[in-house]
Chain A
């Protein structure tokens, strides 16, 4: 079992087979990286290795993980509690990659946390997981109990002198809790509204202490980088990407699902070869490449490789890497109205432009969809995409909402106008 896997994140996940308990996980070389590292490798060396690997955050922001860890003051510089927090809030519409990792291989998650927390010298870790993920919550709790019984968690782990506790904290359902600073407020028992950044959580996070917040998928990469090295990790990517990525696609394709592929795989390749192409009778019109907060990519531009850089060059973002397909039997106006309904409902209400603007956008779109819109409404919508754009609101929720609207107004302008002129939706 010592050959480096080319699909490290999902190597233990087999459809239809039960997930690994600790014995099976260890038989498959699991916790090897922990056993080889704790008390033997300097935490700073792991941070260095992660930096060299080129791993970037998989929660949607794409910030370099090693750099984020480096920006945390060391335990010597800032004595006192330090926290490592797992962002398992996954509520972005169209996103289902973290669930796969949490349910499919819970011990990989735990091993990733142990190595990451060790690297940033934290002795306490919270897994902030959305309350609806009941199966994942159960499996993680069992995995933590198994790892504790095996001496892999708790005091003086494997005689290394290092202590770590992990606590699963199930949320109560609110999209904004996925924003890292709102998450920290929620965890502290405050209303989940974002905090001003800077200071970033690395400097002042949970209860004012240095804190790292990372996405589930980001952390699941760590054991493999530690075990097989930065150069190996980089070599997994193609077309300028590094490592692998859990991509996914939903909508009217033959095999919707999540797929671990080389980072840099093209959208076309994923949809045609891994998701089996469009269902008979349906054509692909456009794609939201990385969840509800990303801009449309028109159907004739699918040859783009799914890296942050290539997506940005095409006017959109990689986001969470899980794509949603808009097909030719689905009304684009209704599609965008559904997205805006989500964002309007989930706005935390902290800043006025988002709190008041999103419901307004939703009402206008619903009226256009219902055939009661006016031509001036299109100008209002365009104006709103500016007013709620990047830098105009307290957090990235509202700009994320505007991404699909702004690109949709451009790509589907004929559809918008037709709804208004004919006073009807041709799809219903």
Chain B
């Protein structure tokens, strides 16, 4: 049973865009990731009802699309905050102090990896090497890459993000 409320159904634009994505490939299912990402871009996460709708458009059983959605790190099946912080936890960032940054985040806004702050502003998730190891430690915050991250970078972000 889901404790998460249903999200509003896909609107006609979203449906049209998904059909358009399907047209890019020889089979409909090949558009699965593109479709999930398109919807997530607007809705932040893919709740059960949206998953079922997308699956229907792709001609897949919802369970099968769920198997795909949950396989990937960047598809969120649960609500996430307004800003998703992806803090690299791979080797070079680990050497250069990413654990201290995680501790700083916990001290400042009270969340551990996998958690969302009570005000809904931030979610912290670990991420695999961002290919920015020459500027380690690295993180992405809502698609923006940051290198040489230090507590001041984080504080600036926390202070700049308005309440929802």
Report which A residues bind B (CB closer than 8 A).
81, 90-96, 98-99, 130-135, 167, 169-175, 186-192, 207, 248, 250-252, 256-258, 288, 292, 322, 324, 326-327, 330, 334-335, 338-339, 341-342, 345-346
Contacts and interface: CB of A to CB of B under 8 A. Distances in A.
Interface stretch (B9-17, B67-75, B116-124): B67-75
Given A191-B68, A251-B92, A131 B74 contact: yes
Contacts, number: 135
B129 A93 contact: yes
Nearest to B143: A134
A169 B21 CA distance: 11
B96 to A, nearest CB: 8
A151 to B, nearest CB: 22
A92 B129 contact: yes
Given A94-B90, A190-B68, 9 more contacts: A95-B131, A131-B37, A172-B72, A174-B73, A189-B28, A189-B31, A248-B134, A252-B95, A256-B135
13 contacts: A91-B128, A93-B90, A94-B90, A95-B133, A170-B33, A170-B34, A170-B37, A172-B75, A173-B73, A188-B27, A189-B27, A256-B135, A338-B90
B29 interface: yes
Interface string B129-144: 1111111100010010
Given A94-B90, A134-B143, A342-B90, A330 B30 contact: no
B91 A339 contact: yes
- The 7 A-B pairs of least Cβ separation, nearest first, read A189-B29, A172-B72, A173-B73, A250-B133, A93-B90, A173-B74, A256-B134
B129 to A, nearest CB: 4
Given A92-B129, A248-B134, A252-B95, A174 B71 contact: yes
Given A91-B129, A98-B131, A173-B74, A190 B90 contact: no
A256 B133 contact: yes
Contact of B91 (A90, A94, A256): A94
Contacts of A292: 90-91, 129
Nearest to B65: A189
Interface string B76-95: 00000000001001111011
A188 B133 CA distance: 31
B8 interface: no
Interface in B24-44: 24-34, 36-37
Contact of A90 (B67, B74, B131): B131
Contact of B36 (A98, A172, A251, A258): A172
A175 B29 contact: no
B145 interface: yes
B91 A324 contact: yes
Contact of B92 (A93, A131, A186, A334): A93
Nearest to B74: A173
A191 B67 contact: yes
A338 B27 contact: no
Nearest to B129: A93
B29 A188 contact: yes
Contacts of A341: 89
A131 B130 CA distance: 10
A292 B131 CA distance: 12
B57 interface: no
B140 A132 contact: yes
Given A167-B24, A324-B133, A338-B91, A346 B128 contact: yes
Contacts of A133: 131
Contacts of B128: 91, 93, 173, 175, 342, 345-346
Given A94-B129, A174-B73, A169 B91 contact: no
Contact of A132 (B31, B94, B130, B134): B130
Nearest to A338: B94
B127 interface: yes
A92 B72 CA distance: 16
User: Which of A132, A186, A251 has the largest count of B CB atoms less than 10 A from its CB?
Assistant: A132
Contacts of B132: 96, 99
A361 B26 CA distance: 42
